A and B are shown apart, each in its own frame.
Chain A
C-alpha cells in the first residue's frame, strides 16, 4: 500500500466535483492561520483580521468552482483576502487610516505578551513597518512573512510584477535604513 499526503489540489478537486464541505474545512485548517496573520499585519486589529479571514473563506467557499487552476489556490485565496481588507479600508476611510494605530492595535500587531524577542527590536520593527504606506507594507508582508513569489504577489495585488518589485524594493530600503542601528548592534 502506498500512502500519499493529500495535497491541496486533491481537496480542491474533491470540493469542485462533490462540494465536499469536509474537504473545504481541511483546506481552511491548513490556511486559516496564514491568512489571519496576513490580514492582521494589514489591519493591525485582531478582531478585524478574524472577521476578514472568515469573510475571505466564505467567499472562497462560494466561488471555489471559479478557480480554474487548483495549483494557484494560495494566491487566489490571498487575492480574496486582499480584496476583503481593502473593501474594509474603503468603508472606513478616512476616519481609520491603517497608519494611525491605537496602542491596543499596536500591541496586537506586535504580539503582546510574548517575551521571546527583545522589546526594543519588536518596537523598532513595528515602527518601521508603520512608516511604510499600505501598498509597500502589503508587499513586505506578502514577500517576507508569506513567502510568495513576485508573480504570485502580482496576482494577489492585481498589478504588474514590475510594480510589485518597485513597492518591495522601496519598502526594503526604508526598513533597512530604519532598522540599521539595531541590526548593526546585533552584528557587533
Chain B
C-alpha cells in the first residue's frame, strides 16, 4: 500500500476510509473530531475530495439502446423446454403429424357453396325445398331405373327371339336333310324291290 499520504499523525488509512465513507459511525465521529485539530489530515482530505470531484466531471452516459427480454422464464427450465430438448421430441412430432393427417382425412368435406345462414331463407322453407328436391330426385331415379329395366328386358327378349329363330332354322334344316335321306333310301329300296320282282317273273 502506498505510503505517499502517510502524514505526521499516522492516520492515513483512517483518513482514506473516512474520505470513501467506509468508516463505522463511531469511528467517523471520532475522526471528524480529529480533523478539527490536524491540519495535515484536513489538507489531505481536501486533496482527495478535489481529486474525486475532478474524476466526476465525466458524467454517466445514456445507454444507446434499451434492453428488454421477451422470452419465457429461463432461470427455471419449463417442462415444455425440458421435453423439447429431450430425444422424444422427434417421435412426438411424428405422432402429431400423423394424428393431424388422420383427423383431416376423416373430417374433410367439400365446403358448401351456400349455407343456410348465407342464403337468408327461413329454415322451414329450406327443409321443405330440400324434401321436395329429394322426392323429385328419388322419382327421377325410379323412372330411370324402370326405363333401364324395360330396356334391359327388351334386349333380353330380342336376344331370346333371335336365338330361338336360329335354333328353329337349324332344326328345320336338319329335318329337311333327314327327310331327303329317307326319300333317297325309299327310292333305293323301291328300285331294288322292282328289280327283284322282275327277276322272279322271268324265272317262272
Chains A and B bind each other: yes
In the bound complex, do residue B58 and residue A21 qualify as a contact, i.e. CB atoms below 8 Å apart? no
Interface string of B46-67 (1 = CB under 8 A from A): 1110111111111111111111
A129 to nearest B CB, angstroms?
8
Whether A172 lies near B69 (C-beta < 8 A) is no
Question: Interface readout for A1-45 with B: 1 if CB under 8 Å, 0 if not?
Answer: 000000000000001101111001100110011101100100000
Question: Judging by beta carbons under 8 Å apart, are B57 and A19 in contact?
Answer: no
Stretch at the interface among B29-37, B72-80, B155-163, B169-177: B72-80
Give the CA-CA distance A85 to B103 in the complex, in Å: 55
Known: A116-B59, A175-B55. A63 touches B75 (CB 8 A): yes
Q: Are B54 and A125 in contact (CB under 8 A)?
A: yes
Tell me the nearest residue of chain A to B16, going by C-beta. Answer: A169
Q: Which residues of A contact B190 (CB under 8 A)?
A: none
- Shortest beta-carbon distance, B79 to chain A, in Å? 12
- The answer to whether B75 touches A40 (Cβ under 8 A) is no
Say yes or no for A96: interface residue by CB 8 A criterion: no
Question: Which size class do B's interface residues fall under?
Answer: 35 or more
A21 & B73 in contact (Cβ 8 Å cutoff): yes
Interface membership of A186, Cβ < 8 A: yes
In the bound assembly, the distance between CA atoms of A64 and B74 in angstroms comes to: 9
Complex contact B74–A57 (CB within 8 A) = no
Interface residues in B142-195 (C-beta closer than 8 Å to A): none
Q: Which residues of chain A have C-beta atoms less than 8 A from B54's C-beta?
A: 121, 124-125, 175, 179, 182-183, 186
Contact, CB under 8 Å: A145 / B56: yes
Is B70 engaged at the interface, CB distance under 8 Å to the other chain? Answer: yes
List of A residues within 8 angstroms of B53 by Cβ: 183
Contact A21 B70 (CB under 8 A): yes
- The prevalent SS among residues of B at the interface is loop
Question: Which of A46-54, A68-76, A87-95 touches B?
Answer: A46-54
Contact of B1 among A109, A111, A118, A170 (CB under 8 A): A170
B22 at the interface (CB under 8 A from A): yes
Q: Are B59 and A111 in contact (CB under 8 A)?
A: yes
Residue-wise interface mask of A (51-65) relative to B, using a CB-CB cutoff of 8 A (1 in contact, 0 not):
001100110011111
CB pair B56 A62 closer than 8 Å: no
Please give the distance in Å from A38's CB to the nearest CB on chain B.
9
Identify the A interface with B (CB < 8 A). 15-16, 18-21, 24-25, 28-29, 32-34, 36-37, 40, 46, 50, 53-54, 57-58, 61-65, 109-111, 114, 116-118, 121-122, 124-126, 129, 140, 143-145, 149-150, 165-166, 168-170, 172-173, 175-176, 179-180, 182-183, 186-187
Which residues of B line the A interface, CB within 8 A?
1-2, 4-5, 16, 20, 22, 46-48, 50-76
- Could you give 30 example pairs across A and B, Cβ below 8 Å? A15-B75, A16-B75, A19-B75, A21-B70, A21-B72, A28-B67, A28-B69, A37-B61, A40-B61, A46-B61, A46-B64, A50-B63, A57-B69, A58-B69, A61-B74, A61-B75, A117-B57, A118-B57, A121-B57, A124-B54, A125-B58, A126-B58, A169-B1, A172-B16, A175-B54, A182-B54, A183-B50, A183-B54, A186-B54, A187-B46
